[in-house]
């Protein structure tokens, strides 16, 4: 590397990136880009970036919408309910089964996650309203899928614009049948990203699951002193299962998963737990705060990516309980340490010093940094699709070195940053994947774990390490340049 | 716990005994019927396989379950990416665009550029004019496309934004810095609550052809043929069609040619590749003929071309033997040339292959779903092979399609057992497969759950295909495309024969080495 410091390179990259914009857009984007320095207390947020603001039009943002935040993230994985995409056909189709929210169940009979239920709005529904159609849809669902434990209505854009009253329609049907019907006003145009959809969905859980006296199947859960709930784990590739195992091994009882592989019963009974364990702060801090206020349940953020953070988190969680749990937590840590040592011994030499740029959503832009660093890899850039200030504040504690921070980065910017900073690996979403692979850059999708995973917990870390090695050390990247284009060896 | 020497991902990891315990243990907290009363789940699962369930299922009026169609702007985005250096621009919320890009990218395993102007609540109240002004300017400044093609999401359609006026206002305000007056920005209204993705394709193609050619009509027509592929998701098909036209030595323009855009070589990334030249598109009104390869995906476009532009040509669906024959005869007629020897030889090879493989497809029952034009071509081919398309399902069937498909099926000796299902979804298909089973299904990745539930083998042909690789690179059009279809279907039939006869000392007398 030349004399130029990493930080100087990063600052220069930002300045250069901004040059291509028309003045108004440049002024806006400047506030969303910065260089984060570890332990720099003068920074209000990591890199002093601004966030959760409207996307600049026309720039090819990677953001999704409120519907995606509610149907796609929070509600969609609840497996024993039917989630209606209420409106035109597209939203439900594009978001069908894309997030890999694993669950156990007989799909189409007692569980419905990977299916697509839509009211398929036609012009007449727009003109005359769709409330009647929604009511008929409820009846048809209950006739054909009698083992559903409730229905949610995930509003698409037109619903809020044409003046439909899904709340009244849902309430009426719920009253008539005693079923749990949850209307969610998560129209895609609300807010600036997925984030508002998370919030709206959280509020509906409060209103219709906690306060709505949702009917539950089977015996109620008899509380114990060691009950906890996993909040904000969508069980992507089975993440919640590889987390759950550790919590159970340390003597805790996980009575609910929110919302990967969840049932409405688990959620409804969560107010009985002693502690809420919050993984994705961004998408489920709202309901955690509500349970704290309403039921006095404390919540604690944890991070199960990579052994360093996992160990820290296990101890942090154990500290809420008695010595037995604390002792067992140490036993869990000790039990897995040899395996983790083996994983690091095997992969670290193959990955050491490789630089990574991340762009993801939710918790990952900060939470996965530790996992890379455990493997000796260096994260030099990160950013969130839909974070708020509190996420960027938390990010300050997670970075290891000067890190370029980009909020709501768009296609143009990310490409420019990668070209300028030349990381060895880019880790982001499906829309960006092939852009960088075309350039010959190893790439991992960090929304879906690139169809692998789980990545949470100790067992997940072993898979993570193997996958990063797979990506970085595959022979395929060496084929990009043809032999006739290769420089003559000296 | 993981074994460092053999790290298992989720597929095997969760089969480890300690994880099986975790999953079993979790059941005590669950409220799903499977955790509470397994027998009830089995009872209902069995009921879903019955005629009683089928009748209820077919009577649904309000809820669509597992659709086989998408919405208009998806088709508009495809049109835009078939033109040289053209950015698809969707006026509305950016969530939609994230979905279109993911959907195409998962299918093609290729980048899919597309911008939106990120309309939010204030735009819903005041209209999206400011978004359009900023969006077009930013898009032009950052990505420097030679053309921007504007379509709409349902949000913009519900509030009634006026694209023509907005684009004009955007150009005025920009004052020519990024958006000169002559900068081409064709547009189309593509409401998601009308038709499907093929309607959006049609609207965007029609709008583009009309707007780009305004004032360009010459007195004399050129000896040139326009080819409109339609919502074509097989890259190889575009190449096959072009090679057929080229074999005639005919000058042509393919309008909307995304064969290079979604098939970029590795080594470097450029946002745009290939596509119809903008100058060609501006002059397409002066071609003597236009052939659309997908009648139902270009109804509005072809109405303009034949009625207003008075072009010869019409529609021709070059999927299967007869479809390709008709396309070639149409070209022979329009060019006044003999069918080239190379094509005659290709046809001969296809027929030879069909005659080699016919015993394996003959009499086999198929269920098939997809877009209306795709189905016309595919069903023709199945009939040419003596197969029986028992269930032909088209969720986005436009007017007239059902009758055309019925007439096609009526040419089969098995016609009384062949059914058309227009406007039905794949949950209906599930009932059909349980009550009137078939030997094979032909369809997209959404057939995967049907394969799991009913045990019917799935032959992956259609769109979208997310979980099998590279099929979209092949052709299903022309004689070479028909040969691919024949190969995929025949070999799947043979795979299935092997699957059913591999039982050691029970069925493997029929596990023949030679077939």
Taking the mean position of all CA atoms in its chain, how far away is CA A176? 36
In the DSSP assignment, the letter for residue B146 is S
**Facing residue for B266 by CB, picked from A194, A221, A480:** A480
Checking B262-265 for CB contacts under 8 A at 24+ apart, the result is B262/B81, B262/B104, B262/B108, B262/B110, B262/B112, B262/B235, B262/B472, B263/B108, B263/B110, B263/B235, B263/B473, B264/A438, B264/B110, B264/B111
Instruction: Please report the pLDDT score of residue A255 as a whole number.
Output: 98
In the Cβ-directed half-sphere of B350, how many Cα atoms lie within 13 Å?
26
Touching B: A residues 264-303, CB under 8 Å: 264-266, 268-269
Instruction: Please report the pLDDT score of residue A477 as a whole number.
Output: 95
Is B288 strand, coil or helix? strand
Touching A: B residues 321-380, CB under 8 Å: none
Other CB atoms within a 10 A radius of the CB of residue B468 amount to: 12
Instruction: Please report the pLDDT score of residue A1 as a whole number.
Output: 46
For residue A488, what pLDDT band results from cuts at 50, 70 and 90? Answer: low
Residue A81 has pLDDT above 50, yes or no: yes
CB B90 within 8 A of CB B99: no
Other CB atoms within a 10 A radius of the CB of residue A15 amount to: 11
Instruction: Please report the pLDDT score of residue A133 as a whole number.
Output: 98
A65: left (phi over 0), alpha (psi -120 to 50) or beta: beta
Interchain CB distance below 8 Å, B141 and A66 = no
Residue B73 has pLDDT above 60, yes or no: yes
**Facing residue for A481 by CB, picked from B89, B106, B267:** B267
Q: How far is A356 from chain B (nearest CA, A)?
A: 19
pLDDT, tens only, B285-314: 999 999 999 999 999 999 999 999 999 999
d(C-alpha B285, C-alpha B294), whole Å = 19
Q: Sort A87 into a burial class: Cβ within 10 Å, 0-12 / 13-18 / 19+.
A: buried
Q: How far is B228 from chain A (nearest CA, A)?
A: 24
Q: Is the dihedral of CA A278, A283, A289, A295 positive or negative?
A: negative
Please pick, among A13, A46, A65, A465, the residue that the annotation labels catalytic.
A65
- The two tokens of residue B258 are 């995304």
- The two tokens of residue A409 are 């980065």
pLDDT, tens only, A194-230: 999 999 999 999 999 999 877 788 899 999 999 999 9
Q: Is the dihedral of CA A467, A472, A475, A478 positive or negative?
A: positive
Is B418 strand, coil or helix? coil
Which backbone phi and psi does B227 adopt, to 5 degrees? -120, 125
Is B17 strand, coil or helix? helix
Interchain CB distance below 8 Å, A54 and B192 = no
d(C-alpha B88, C-alpha B185), whole Å = 10
**Is A68 in the active site?**
yes
- The two tokens of residue A233 are 């784990």
A-B Cβ pairs (cutoff 8 Å, strict): 370
In the DSSP assignment, the letter for residue A319 is T
Closest residue by Cα to residue B74 from B204, B262, B208 = B204
d(C-alpha B20, C-alpha A11), whole Å = 50
Closest residue by Cα to residue A116 from A170, A171, A71 = A71
**Is A198 in the active site?**
yes
**Facing residue for A90 by CB, picked from B74, B109, B449:** B74
Mean pLDDT in residue range A473-479? 96
In the block, which residue shows the tokens 């299916």?
A115
Residue B111 has pLDDT above 60, yes or no: yes
In the DSSP assignment, the letter for residue B405 is H
Instruction: Please report the pLDDT score of residue A3 as a whole number.
Output: 63
Integer CA distances (angstroms), A198 to A187, A203, A286, B88, B334, in order: 12, 9, 9, 29, 58
Integer CA distances (angstroms), B412 to A85, B252, B353, B390, in order: 40, 36, 21, 11
Closest residue by Cα to residue B290 from B304, B276, B277 = B304
For residue A82, what pLDDT band results from cuts at 50, 70 and 90? Answer: very high
Touching B: A residues 360-419, CB under 8 Å: 410-412, 415
- The two tokens of residue B143 are 């990505």
Helices (H) and strands (E) in chain B, counts: 22, 13
CB A368 within 8 A of CB A305: yes
pLDDT, tens only, A240-293: 999 999 999 999 999 999 999 999 999 999 999 999 999 999 999 999 999 999
Is B91 strand, coil or helix? strand
Judge whether A37 is closer than 8 Å to chain B, CB to CB.
no
Mean pLDDT in residue range B422-450? 98
Judge whether B49 is closer than 8 Å to chain A, CB to CB.
no
Is B83 strand, coil or helix? strand
Instruction: Please report the pLDDT score of residue A2 as a whole number.
Output: 55
Instruction: Please report the pLDDT score of residue A39 as a whole number.
Output: 82
Alpha helices in B48-184 (DSSP H): 51-58, 72-80, 94-108, 121-126, 129-143, 154-159, 163-174
Touching A: B residues 156-185, CB under 8 Å: 158-159, 177-178
pLDDT, tens only, A138-165: 999 999 999 999 999 999 999 999 999 9
Beta strands in B336-431 (DSSP E): 365-369, 388-394, 419-422
Interchain CB distance below 8 Å, A335 and B1 = yes
Instruction: Please report the pLDDT score of residue A218 as a whole number.
Output: 87
pLDDT, tens only, B262-283: 999 999 999 999 999 999 999 9
Beta strands in B380-471 (DSSP E): 388-394, 419-422, 440-443, 458-460
**Facing residue for A80 by CB, picked from B32, B132, B267:** B32
Residue B355 has pLDDT above 80, yes or no: yes
Q: Sort A440 into a burial class: Cβ within 10 Å, 0-12 / 13-18 / 19+.
A: middle
Mean pLDDT in residue range B501-511? 98
Residue in B98, B185, B203 to test binding to A, most A beta-carbons within 10 Å: B98
Residues in chain B: 515
d(C-alpha B29, C-alpha A264), whole Å = 10
pLDDT, tens only, A28-38: 999 999 999 99
Residue A490 has pLDDT above 70, yes or no: no
Instruction: Please report the pLDDT score of residue A487 as a whole number.
Output: 72
Other CB atoms within a 10 A radius of the CB of residue B501 amount to: 14
Mean pLDDT in residue range B203-212? 98
In the DSSP assignment, the letter for residue B250 is -
Judge whether A55 is closer than 8 Å to chain B, CB to CB.
yes
Residue B473 has pLDDT above 50, yes or no: yes
Interchain CB distance below 8 Å, A157 and B120 = no
């Amino acid at each position: 590397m030349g004399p130029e410091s990493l930080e100087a390179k990063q600052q220069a990259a930002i300045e250069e990136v901004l040059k291509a914009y028309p003045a108004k857009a440049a002024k806006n984007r400047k506030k969303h880009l910065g260089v984060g320095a570890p332990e720099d207390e003068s920074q209000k947020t990591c890199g002093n970036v601004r966030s959760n603001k409207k996307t600049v039009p026309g720039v090819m943002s990677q953001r999704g919408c409120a519907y995606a935040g509610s149907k796609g993230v929070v509600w969609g994985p609840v497996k024993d309910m039917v989630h209606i995409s209420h409106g035109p056909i597209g939203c439900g189709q594009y978001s069908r089964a894309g997030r890999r929210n694993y669950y156990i169940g007989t799909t189409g009979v007692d569980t419905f996650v990977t299916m697509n239920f839509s009211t398929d709005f036609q012009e007449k529904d727009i003109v005359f309203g769709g409330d009647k159609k929604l009511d008929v849809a409820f009846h048809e669902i209950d006739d054909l899928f009698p083992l559903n434990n409730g229905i949610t209505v995930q509003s698409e854009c037109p619903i809020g614009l044409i003046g439909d009253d899904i709340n009244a329609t849902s309430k009426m049907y719920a009253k008539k049948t005693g079923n749990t019907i949850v209307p969610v006003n998560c129209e895609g145009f609300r807010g600036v990203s997925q984030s508002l959809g998370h919030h709206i969905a959280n509020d509906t859980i409060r209103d219709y699951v906690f306060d709505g006296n949702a009917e539950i199947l089977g015996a109620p859960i008899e509380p114990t002193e060691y009950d906890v709930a996993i909040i904000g784990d969508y069980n992507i590739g089975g993440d919640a299962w590889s987390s759950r195992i550790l919590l159970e091994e340390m003597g805790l009882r996980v009575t609910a998963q929110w919302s990967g592989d969840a049932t409405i019963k688990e959620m409804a009974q969560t107010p009985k737990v002693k502690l809420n364990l919050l993984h994705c702060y961004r998408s489920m801090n709202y309901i955690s705060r509500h349970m704290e206020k309403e039921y006095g349940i404390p919540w604690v953020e944890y991070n199960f990516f990579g052994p360093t953070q996992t160990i820290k988190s296990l101890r942090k969680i154990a500290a809420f309980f008695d010595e037995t749990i604390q002792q067992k937590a140490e036993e869990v840590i000790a039990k897995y340490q040899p395996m983790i040592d083996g994983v690091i011994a095997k992969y670290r030499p193959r990955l050491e010093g490789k630089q990574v740029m991340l762009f993801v959503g939710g918790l990952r832009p900060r939470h996965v940094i530790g996992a890379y660093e455990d493997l000796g890899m260096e994260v030099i850039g990160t950013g969130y699709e839909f974070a708020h200030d509190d996420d960027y504040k938390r990010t300050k504690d997670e970075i290891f070195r000067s890190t370029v921070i980009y909020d709501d980065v768009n296609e143009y910017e990310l490409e420019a940053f990668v070209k300028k900073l030349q990381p060895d690996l880019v880790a982001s979403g499906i829309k960006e994947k092939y852009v960088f692979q075309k350039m010959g850059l190893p790439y991992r999708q960090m929304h879906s774990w690139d169809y692998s995973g789980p990545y949470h917990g100790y067992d997940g870390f072993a898979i993570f390490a193997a996958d990063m090695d797979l990506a970085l050390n595959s022979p395929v990247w060496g084929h990009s340049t043809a032999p006739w284009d290769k420089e003559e060896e000296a | 716990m993981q074994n460092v020497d053999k790290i298992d991902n989720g597929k095997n990891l969760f089969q480890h005994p300690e994880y099986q315990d975790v999953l079993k243990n979790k059941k005590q907290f669950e409220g799903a019927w499977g955790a509470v009363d397994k027998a009830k789940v089995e009872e209902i699962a069995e009921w879903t396989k019955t005629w009683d369930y089928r009748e209820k299922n077919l009577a649904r009026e309000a809820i669509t379950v597992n659709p086989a169609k998408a919405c208009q702007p998806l088709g508009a985005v495809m049109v835009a990416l078939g033109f040289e250096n053209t950015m698809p621009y969707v006026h509305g919320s950016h969530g939609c665009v994230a979905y279109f890009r993911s959907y195409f990218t998962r299918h093609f395993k290729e980048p899919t550029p597309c911008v939106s102007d990120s309309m939010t609540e204030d735009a819903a109240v005041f209209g999206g004019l400011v978004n359009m002004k900023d969006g077009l300017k930013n898009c032009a400044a950052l990505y420097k496309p030679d053309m921007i093609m504007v379509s709409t999401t349902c949000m913009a359609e519900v509030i009634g934004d006026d694209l023509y006026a907005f684009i004009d206002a955007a150009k005025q305000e920009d004052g020519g810095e990024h958006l000169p007056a002559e900068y081409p920005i064709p547009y189309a209204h593509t409401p998601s609550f009308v038709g499907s993705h093929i309607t959006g394709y049609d609207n965007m193609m029609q709008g583009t052809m009309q707007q780009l050619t305004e004032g360009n009509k010459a007195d004399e027509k050129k000896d040139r043929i326009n080819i409109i592929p339609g919502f074509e998701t097989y890259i190889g098909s575009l190449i096959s069609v072009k090679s057929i036209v080229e074999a005639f030595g005919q000058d042509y323009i393919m309008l909307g040619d995304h064969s290079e855009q979604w098939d970029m070589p590795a080594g470097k990334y450029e946002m745009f590749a290939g596509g119809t030249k903008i100058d060609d598109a501006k002059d397409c009104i002066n071609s003597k003929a236009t052939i659309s390869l997908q009648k139902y995906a270009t109804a509005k476009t072809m109405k303009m071309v034949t009625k207003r532009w008075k072009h010869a040509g019409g529609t021709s669906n070059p999927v299967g033997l007869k479809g390709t024959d008709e396309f070639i005869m149409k070209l022979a007629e329009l060019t006044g040339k003999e069918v080239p020897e190379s094509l005659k030889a290709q046809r001969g090879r296809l027929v030879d292959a069909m005659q080699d493989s016919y015993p394996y497809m003959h009499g086999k029952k198929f269920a098939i779903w997809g877009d209306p034009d795709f189905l016309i071509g595919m069903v023709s081919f199945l009939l040419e092979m003596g197969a029986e398309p028992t269930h032909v399902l088209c969720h986005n069937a436009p007017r007239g399609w059902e009758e055309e498909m019925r007439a096609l099926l009526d040419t089969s000796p098995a016609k009384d057992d062949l059914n058309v299902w227009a406007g039905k979804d794949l949950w209906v298909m599930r009932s059909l497969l349980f009550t009137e089973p078939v030997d094979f299904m032909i369809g997209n990745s959404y057939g995967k759950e049907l394969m799991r539930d009913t045990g019917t083998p799935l032959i992956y042909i259609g769109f979208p295909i997310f979980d099998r690789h590279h099929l979209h690179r092949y052709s299903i059009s022309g004689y070479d495309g028909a040969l691919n279809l024949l190969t995929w279907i025949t070999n799947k039939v043979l795979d299935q024969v092997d699957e059913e006869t591999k039982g050691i000392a029970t069925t493997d007398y029929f596990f023949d080495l030679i077939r």
